[in-house]
Structure 1
Amino acid sequence: MLNEFKDFIAKGNVMDMAVGIIIGAAFTAIVTSLVDDLINPIISLFTGGIDFSGLGFRLSEGEEGAVFAYGNFIMAIINFLIIAWVVFMLVKMVNRVKAAAEKPDDVAPEVDTGPSEKDLLVEIRDALKK
């Protein structure tokens, strides 16, 4: 059973998935910082620093009562849309760089296909003039 487990762990798919998860976690920190530290401050300039996270109402009496905090949900949706846009732009940029890297460096040489139709007509005209 231990050998089966070793074989399972050593397979490429499991290792690829583990590397993807680790890189994904690191990338999440980058995207979160980009959104929180760079994009949200710019957006708050245009919106006057609107923060919906404080919106909500108490469902029961007292300090320990349940709170229906719909403002946090609104902020989560806004942050999701911003993060989704940033990830979309990053993927678009990576795809553009990848496509440029896949282009062949040298252009195929021109193949001589013979005279063009125009060249043939010019030759016929010149032959008829003689």
Structure 2
Amino acid sequence: MIQEFKDFIAKGNVMDMAVGIIIGAAFTAIVGSLVADLINPIISLFMGGIDFSGMHVILGEGEFSSMAAAEEAGAAVFAYGRFIMAIINFLIIAWVVFLLVKAVNKAKDAAAPEEEEAPAEDPGPSELDILMEIRDSLAKK
């Protein structure tokens, strides 16, 4: 059983997947920083300084100066602004990943040698032709 596990781990697909997950985690941090530190301030500038992440409704009793204070006090907080920011962040991250994949595919296509068109091969007789030949030869006998 240990040998089977070693064989499984040594397969290229498992190692490729592990590398992909590690690179993906590192890439997530980069894209997250891009969104939080560069793109969201620009969006906030065009939206008149609105910060969606602070938008909330306190469910229940009590007056709190901020959402953090309400959460710290244990009050139920309907933080719809965080949800809006999560959607915006997702869309921006998805767009950045799309552009990255598009650029990588374009680079791959440019690096790949162009294949010459192979001459069309004669496909030979069709199945119907063969069946008709068999029928004709049986009819002659």
TM-score, structure 1 as length reference: 0.70
* Matched AA of 2:86: A
Which residue in the other structure is 1:102 paired with?
Answer: 112
2:100 matched to which residue of 1?
90
Task: Give the corresponding residue for 2:15.
Answer: 15
CA distance in 1, matches of 2:41, 2:83: 20
Q: CA deviation at 1:61?
A: 2.2
| SS class of match (1:96) | helix
Distance 2:12 2:105 in 1: 25
- 1:3-47 deviation digits (Å, cap 9, x = unpaired): 222222112221111011011111112211222222222222212
- Residue number among 42, 66, 71 corresponding to 2:76 in the alignment: 66
Structure 1: 5+ residue stretches without partners: 108-130
CA distance in structure 2 between the partners assigned to 1:36 and 1:53 by the alignment: 12
Q: TM-score, normalised by structure 2?
A: 0.65
In 1, the alpha carbon distance for the partners of 2:105 and 2:95 equals: 15
1:61 alignment partner, SS class: coil
2:74 aligned counterpart, secondary structure: coil
Tell me, what secondary structure is at the counterpart of 2:52? coil
Matches within 5 A, 1:8-87: 8-62=8-62, 63-87=73-97
Kindly report the root-mean-square deviation, in angstroms, between the aligned alpha carbons of the 2 structures. Answer: 1.9
Percent identity of paired positions between Structure 1 and Structure 2? 78
Q: State how far apart, in whole Å, the 2-side matches of 1:103 and 1:39 are.
A: 38
Aligned length: 105
Stretches of structure 2 lacking an aligned partner (at least 5 in a row): 63-72, 117-141
Q: Label 1:7 to 1:103 Cα distance change in 2 as closer, same or farther (>3 A).
A: closer
Q: Which structure carries more relative contact order (alpha carbon 8 Å, separation 6+)?
A: 2
- Taking the TM superposition and a 5 Å limit, the aligned residue runs for 1:105-120 are none
